[in-house]
Chain A
Amino acid sequence: MTSIVIVSHSKKIADGLKEVLDQIAKGVNIVAIGGAGNGEILGSNPNAIKDTFLRLSNENAIFVVCDFGSTVLSVKYAINMLPEDLKKKIFLVDAPLVEGAYVIAVEASSGSSVEEILNAVKEIRNFQKIPR
């Protein structure tokens, strides 16, 4: 199975995005991690992110989308701490949080390969939301 891990400074943002993705992406496991501490502090908790990855170690692929700044550093820290075989299954994508997570969810739920999903993420980075 494929998992999408959403990492945001805010628990509300992460949970809200999970709510959206759960509706559109059947068969994809969506995990929301928001905030530092237990989610009560705005920021990120690298240990919680690491523990989440370890829980998902049986997945075929784990895509990670972050908002900005410290969440990216926290995910990089967490990946650093993982066994090599699990590291290989984790794909930290460089994309806007909502759009990136959305396109991964759509692609993963329609059975796209990891490579196809990563290509779709690249395209979304240049996507023009409002046609001119």
Chain B
Amino acid sequence: MTCVYTSNDIYTFVLRAYDIIATNKDYLTNLDAAIGDADHGINMERGFKLAVERIKNIDPNTADVGTILLTVANAMLETVGGAAGPLYGMFFMNMSTVSSGKKSIDLNSLVVMLEQGLKGIQDIGGGTQPGEKTMVDTLYPFVIELKSQLDKSSDCKKVLEDALKSAEKGMMETINMVAKKGRASYLGERSIGHQDPGATSMYLILKVLVDIMNSKTQ
């Protein structure tokens, strides 16, 4: 069983992340309409669309993982426009730094990449913690679960699926949270009852990552 993501897998991840974001564009925008400024799906679709256009200039057979993720980071930074731009930009930028020069990454390396990505999001968000109704509520439990499962199991499919379940649980828990960051925080208690759009887009992106490994190991 090959528990690694190659450059080709990461390339496919970018293409499929664009597809899932584009498919859920209206869904994300509607979630954002309830507690934000109704542009999250539109912004994310624009960012990933540029990422896909730009990675077409990259040959995944020769490129390293870092180069592919750097291209995604810059596309997010330059065209997303909203808060998701610097947040996802920082996320992919930090992941690209750790994976620079690597043509394949195992799950332990993936943990390090995601930890650095998470740290970047937390830093520029002003020390964002789980429980504040943000993308951290999805990413944080994913990373924690992935790390702890890796210590116990060598079944990479199960490890990733458990991590994804934790991420989904975190995303669902944002419904009952009071927003502490971003425009939704202006609503205070009125933000309760709405699922966070950033937590949702993060879940969709992590789901693609997990699905790619599943399709390899089947």
Contacts and interface: CB of A to CB of B under 8 A. Distances in A.
A80 B123 CA distance: 9
A43 B78 contact: no
A42 B81 contact: yes
Given A69-B182, A80-B124, A43 B86 contact: no
Contact of B89 (A35, A41, A43, A77): A77
A43 B183 contact: no
The SS class assigned to the B binding surface is helix
Interface string A73-97: 1101100100000000000000000
Given A36-B79, A47-B78, A77 B124 contact: yes
Contacts of B77: 45-47, 77
Given A44-B81, A44-B85, A46-B85, A73 B74 contact: no
A70 B123 contact: no
Nearest to B75: A47
B133 interface: no
B82 interface: yes
Given A73-B124, A77-B124, A37 B86 contact: no
B83 interface: yes
Contacts, number: 66
A41 B47 CA distance: 12
A76 B124 contact: yes
A66 to B, nearest CB: 12
A13 interface: no
Interface string B117-156: 0001001110000000000000000000000000000000
Interface residues of B, number: 22
Contacts of B46: 41
A45 B90 contact: no
B124 A43 contact: no
B71 interface: no
A9 B84 CA distance: 14
A43 B43 contact: yes
B78 A70 contact: no
Given A41-B46, A43-B43, A80-B124, A73 B78 contact: no
Contact of A70 (B74, B79, B81, B90): B81
Contact of B125 (A36, A37, A47, A73): A73
Contacts of B79: 36-37, 41, 45
A48 interface: yes
Residue with the highest number of chain B CB atoms closer than 10 Å, among A9, A46, A76? A46
B83 A73 contact: yes
A36 B85 contact: yes
Contacts of A9: 81
B80 interface: yes
Nearest to A77: B86
Contacts of A42: 81
A41 B77 CA distance: 12
B85 A43 contact: yes
B194 to A, nearest CB: 18
